[in-house]
Amino acid sequence: MNLLYGLAFISLISISTAQDVPEYGQCGGIGYTGSTTCAAGNTCVVLNDYYSQCLPGASSSSISSTSTTSSGTTTTTTSTSPTATVSGFVKTSGMHFTLDDKPFTLVGANAYWVGLMNYDIADMNTAFADIAATGATAVRTLGFNEVTTPDGVAYYQSWNGSTPTINFGANGLENFDNVVAAAKAHGLRLLVTLTNNWSDYGGMDVYVNQLLGQGSPHDYFYTNATVIAAYKNYVKTFVTRYLNEPGILAWELANEPRCLGSTSATSGTCTVSTISNWAADISAFIKSIDTNHLVAIGDEGFFNDPGNPIYVYQGSLGIDFNANLNISTLDFGTFHLYPESWGEADSPGSFGSQYITDHATAMIASNKPVIMEEFGVTIANQNDTYAGWYSTILSTDLTGDLIWQAGSDLTNGPTPNDGYAIYPGSDVYVLDTQHAAALKVRDGSS
């Protein structure tokens, strides 16, 4: 571990025994019992109800909150006057992100639901304020919902037989305009995923089934010319709408592409080359339209090591992380981490730390940024597991991370919770706040 980074992280997760709290240390919040006096040159700033931090040169608090309770979970409804300014486009320099030629720390959360549940502007503001209060800079969300019959949620493309129609209306792209504006109001930039490997919210199988017939192989999405043309048409329309929008950080080709989708239908011919070739084609297509925004795959980061006893390392799922990272039209790498779902429930902490380390090794070899853009466990010691992973991220210099997933308490109740949601006031929410600060110290972007 780099000593400077390690000390920065340790100082954030420990309560100082000294009278004056050191720079970037905790100085207040619900349940906090330590000193509230910051070392000289620092001011105690309220980041949320549960975490105040000693920041250099700061002079006032920027967040005010009112605690509420929903479904037995303590949450926080954050009230702010959104005035953040988001300008310029995030770029890459070696293994790092930059903004206006200065370090940019990519850290934050996933909030797939924010653009789909027909939330009003006030609820969108609450959701993004809760995320921003942790020190987040980015949010990953969905830029798709394929429907054959509208079902009351926002959707972006509907299908009548083999004919797709993009929805530009109030519950379509106008709704996504509001998502972008609300995120920007809280200083957040969006990573936008343009389709899904899985059947949730339509995804690849809708294209395949509507254009080629019900039950057609899932992997035809990557190879069939008719399907590729339809997807490119959607991508072009969506991307073009936001060409000059600094609130978009990056486009992602798909969420978790694999040879196999939610059904068992495959051609039997899909390999790692199938998806790599598709990723090279689609990323080059986006780059030909949009020179402002970064592009990534949005994959789980599986390795291609045939014979490895761990299946996410074997290459059998259609992803070769190292090969994909070297595609010239992909700006950074992504990986996901769910040990419990991958048969590693007995030692999720150590498995996860090794998985992070292996991706950091690939990052160094490629000299491109790599982020852990989804991760989660549901075990009782969730907080300790994440703390260990965050320590590994810092020690390996991994570029950044986005937790799965953000949670908020909105007008009609809590946002969707699949067992991973992190609501304001929870131990992990406080840990995320500490981690974001540590990453910014490491990067020199705080």
- Which pLDDT tens digit goes with each residue over 264-290? 899 999 999 999 999 999 999 999 999
Q: Is 367 left (phi over 0), alpha (psi -120 to 50) or beta?
A: left
Eight-class DSSP state of 398: -
Q: Which residues form the catalytic set? A: 256, 374
Q: What is residue 18's predicted lDDT score, i.e. its pLDDT?
A: 47
Helix axes 272-289, 225-241, angle to 10 degrees: 40
Total number of residues shown for the chain: 446
Q: Is 428 left (phi over 0), alpha (psi -120 to 50) or beta?
A: alpha
Residues 6+ apart with CB under 8 A from 354: none
pLDDT, tens only, 305-363? 999 999 999 999 999 999 999 999 999 999 999 999 999 999 999 999 999 999 999 99
Q: Output phi, psi for 293, to 5 deg.
A: -105, 150
Output the CA torsion 237→242→247→251 (10° steps): 40
Of 2-16, 44-58, 313-327, 379-393, the least confident: 2-16
pTM of the entire predicted model:
0.85
Mean pLDDT of the chain: 89
Output the CA torsion 51→54→59→62 (10° steps): -20
Is pLDDT above 80 for 95?
yes
Of 256, 241, 295, 248, the residue nearest 139 (C-alpha): 248
User: How many angstroms separate the CA atoms of 131 and 108, rounded?
Assistant: 7
Residues 6+ apart with CB under 8 A from 241: 173
The amino acid at residue 196 is N
User: How many angstroms separate the CA atoms of 44 and 38, rounded?
Assistant: 6
* CB of 413 closer than 8 Å to CB of 70: yes
pLDDT, tens only, 34-90? 899 988 888 887 765 656 777 666 543 333 333 333 333 333 333 333 456 799 999
What b/e sequence results for 190-215 when a residue is b if at least 16 CB atoms lie within 10 Å of its CB, and e otherwise?
bbbbbbbbeeebbbbbbbbbbbbeee
Strands (DSSP E) found in 29-126: 37-38, 42-48, 51-56, 64-70, 73-79, 91-93, 96-99, 102-104, 107-110
